[in-house]
Chain A
């Protein structure tokens, strides 16, 4: 397809295309609050609040501070989200500026209300579905070679067994549409550092981070329909694969994927992998899919623009919840 587009552009250039600035009568839209929050039963609730801008505005997108953010469970207020200080030295999760220690439960309906002077208040509701358990799990390992840096910056090659292929059984409940996300996380050692007077970097602290492992798969349920020459599909930027049960509704399905060792971090000597099957709300699924599609088609003037799913009343964004089942695999 790219060949076609290139040829087409070549033809257009041959016909000396030119550009003109045009006025389009688009009604001015005041800034609205944007709320973004995916929350699961495996983590406390956090949310990002920012504001939208009119399409002609060239100002940078801004976050919203001093907002009142309230969480309701089944119609009752259960928490107020406070502004969360971001540690600039250490990348921490959750990443939103508003957070609470409250951990939601499966099977409950949650509402997030955000108000801020100068903006219309916004509200979004989601239901956290019960988790679909991991029915079975198989895997194999391969020896992998990693480059390990020591505190002086020297590199040594380290060979360690690593988790390779994984077969994850999903016992999908029938009679309803379900949406899933599969991700693999493991701890890796990271460090913070500073530059001394001589320009050398000095490690000031080491710590463990639970980080997603990049995944690839040939499984048809994660087939991305935008590639001309097919190869293995890579998981989303988040490191997770997301799919619906459209082709295995009500059946036991074994999803096959493997860990992308090339991009992997050096595993610890005894690696513990957390293999997670998240049961997503439809809103989360639609939102991620539509954002991904919009970004993919952004530079193609002939593709129909993709509207992004939005479940925030009076504003923009997404508030959606998921439940999860986690299996742990230890590779020694």
Chain B
């Protein structure tokens, strides 16, 4: 602890100096919101033309700018909105709340850059913010808009298997992404084995991805932060929107409870394949069997503005995947009627909730206090009942039983974050947080009741719950040293207490930019990260059985260091171009040992994993067009990623499964006519790494097993075919008496490319034919149609 205090001392000293020096200055502060619905605008820009000083709004729309006692000429701007100016004589601290209107000249999908958004100006590198409207305008698999799949189109972010929403950021694993929904970690962001993500785009306000150069306020994961903010609800009037698609429908309602004071939003989504298939299944099984699958999400939020200084937010997310199979069978044998009922289920899902209190102590000091709850649970169960009907027709129990396997993770957390903006040259953030994790790596409950033998069993097997405390403290400052040079320097300290083991980690974070000219800047960053939790996963397909487990005395926390160097160029204020190189070194990664791939309640998970290191390096190019009728981006990644585990591949370094040399993503949205939008995405990726057999020999006992032993080459030593795919959609919008409706026609995999999902060796029994590798592909061309509406 002493070390932390010493580390924080220079920043504190700096703050003190700043305050005294700035005695003759005043602060203008407030919130920036959307004039139509009162939603806060995150990252809006405030720029004083007179002093050439500026700042931007934080996650809550709050801004603060301290200027000399003088006249000021402020310009408020935000992408897609009309800028507003404010001129006044600054003689005291002043609060100005601004509401910006969407640009009348630009339609919702046309994202325009403003003077404020210049990529070359900001210190933060390796960060991309994708407007939700743009996400909703891009083609979607089966018409279901997916936030995470849009992020896969960005450089440095790779998808896993085809169609899935897993993210592999700069060579990291899917567990190394801190996915925050309103500041609360979401532990499993997948529905239906990753084919859809849990985020309902209609309920989302903002998505920000950080893949390197992490500011000190973020911690707990190695590879990325995906910060997703939910909408707050319309403060002005009641509105709704929704859609009906091939597989799902959704509806969002929002509005004021007390106008300009309290608002709500509630949004729900559910798939309906099970409902459509139910009559068919029943007719095929004479009503004896029912099988179905569905998932649903529910987002809700209420926020209340007590005053300009105090706001309270309560938000929640609830989502589940449910698979069920019910079977009821009746038979008469020798005059006795027997009834057999069997019910199986698989359920998995998240609950997150957050209570947040924004408080402005002074125009320069803003705080956010958050209490959060997050739970992921996986439940597999089977229940049966077997009875016969006696002469009176009453059921007499023969036996019944229940087996239920539960696993998951549950968090309670509290944190407080401060934004302190003493001058335009400093933007200081500091805060502390604590999380109580409860890990349940798998417990099996078996109940059995046999009336005939009078045997009863009720037992629970498996791992005990493990509790752990994780805490963190951080401080960072965005320092402007003259016009050209700017740094973000910070320190993140974290600790983890599990059983009798206590880990700590001090992580320096530094990022800087140097403005070469008005259009071009150089940027560099160095960060250290630590992660105290691991994800046990062997499939890479987002199975709900993936287990979160804590670092222990045997399996240490994961750590990483990342260096990045790049440049940002703003070409004619219409194109933003960034080029970055990075090198990431990761330690204490875990993988299942070879062959240890299944659940086992008696085996300690620590015995089933191997611990090793990883590294990733490469270059990323991003060209974005944010202005005009045609917008979009091109992202290209050239990268190398490998792993080294003493217990795997005979200790030799091997390519990571998702080591992808070339990865290209292109996204285009074009406003063809006033009410017709076209959009397309094209992705290309080098083939995933795969382990294949090179020879076959008999092995002991081969005659018994009827098959030989496969000699595998180097782990992940071969490549599947390259992956590429074109998706496209067209949207027809129309104003109606009650609002607006839109038909969206889409096509997934437009030229029906057979992309590899996995390979297997097809050994024919015909000796005249050679054994061949067969590639299994999932999705051919898939058209979709959906109907959207808002009112």
Contacts and interface: CB of A to CB of B under 8 A. Distances in A.
A52 B695 contact: yes
A301 interface: yes
Given A56-B770, A59-B767, A316-B711, A11 B597 contact: no
A52 B539 contact: no
Contacts of B708: 61
B766 interface: yes
Interface in A236-275: 237-238
A7 B757 CA distance: 17
Contacts of A316: 695, 697, 709, 711
Contacts of A60: 767
Nearest to B696: A53
9 contacts: A11-B293, A19-B775, A22-B756, A38-B700, A58-B764, A220-B602, A223-B600, A297-B597, A301-B760
Interface stretch (B54-62, B256-264, B777-785): B777-785
Interface string A13-24: 001111111111
Interface stretch (B306-314, B329-337, B478-486, B712-720): B712-720
Interface stretch (A145-153, A193-201, A225-233): A225-233
A8 interface: yes
B691 A304 contact: yes
A208 B773 CA distance: 48
A58 B770 contact: yes
B691 A11 contact: no
B602 A61 contact: no
**Chain A interface size, under 10 / 10 to 19 / 20 to 34 / 35 or more:** 35 or more
Contact of A304 (B538, B762, B768): B538
A50 B715 contact: no
Interface string B737-775: 000000000000000001011111111101111111111
A1 interface: yes
A50 B707 CA distance: 14
Nearest to A60: B767
Given A4-B543, A22-B775, A307-B712, 6 more contacts: A19-B774, A21-B773, A26-B692, A58-B770, A61-B702, A227-B598
A281 B538 CA distance: 30
Contacts of A237: 701, 704
Contact of B707 (A16, A19, A295): A295
Interface in B527-555: 538-541, 543-545
A36 interface: yes
B382 to A, nearest CB: 8
B318 interface: no
A59 B768 CA distance: 8
A51 B694 contact: no
B225 to A, nearest CB: 28
B767 A19 contact: no
B699 A18 contact: no
Interface in B671-722: 691-702, 704-705, 707-713, 715, 718, 721
Contacts of A220: 602
A26 B767 contact: no
A287 B757 CA distance: 31
B771 A293 contact: no
B759 A306 contact: no
Interface in A1-51: 1, 3-4, 7-8, 11-12, 15-27, 29, 32, 34, 36, 38, 48, 50-51
B696 A1 contact: no
Contacts of B389: none
Contacts, number: 219
A318 B700 contact: yes
A38 B701 CA distance: 12
Contact of B594 (A24, A38, A59, A306): A306
Closest 6 CB pairs of A and B: A293-B595, A52-B697, A302-B539, A225-B603, A306-B595, A303-B597
Nearest to B193: A8
A21 B595 CA distance: 27
B698 A305 contact: no
B17 interface: no
> Which of A38, A61, A300 is most buried by chain B, counting CB atoms within 10 A of its CB?
A61
B599 interface: yes
B713 A26 contact: yes
Interface in B596-650: 596-603, 607-608, 649-650
Interface string B326-348: 00000000000000000010100
B280 interface: no
A310 to B, nearest CB: 8
Nearest to A227: B600
A26 B704 contact: no
Contacts of B762: 21
B592 interface: yes
A58 B768 CA distance: 7
> Which of B195, B540, B759 is most buried by chain A, counting CB atoms within 10 A of its CB?
B759
A57 interface: yes
Given A21-B772, A294-B710, A4 B544 contact: yes
> Which of B599, B700, B766 is most buried by chain A, counting CB atoms within 10 A of its CB?
B700
Given A51-B697, A305-B712, A230 B775 contact: no
Nearest to B195: A11
Interface string A207-238: 00000000000001001011111100000011
Nearest to A307: B712
A291 interface: yes
A229 B382 CA distance: 12
A104 interface: no
Nearest to A22: B775
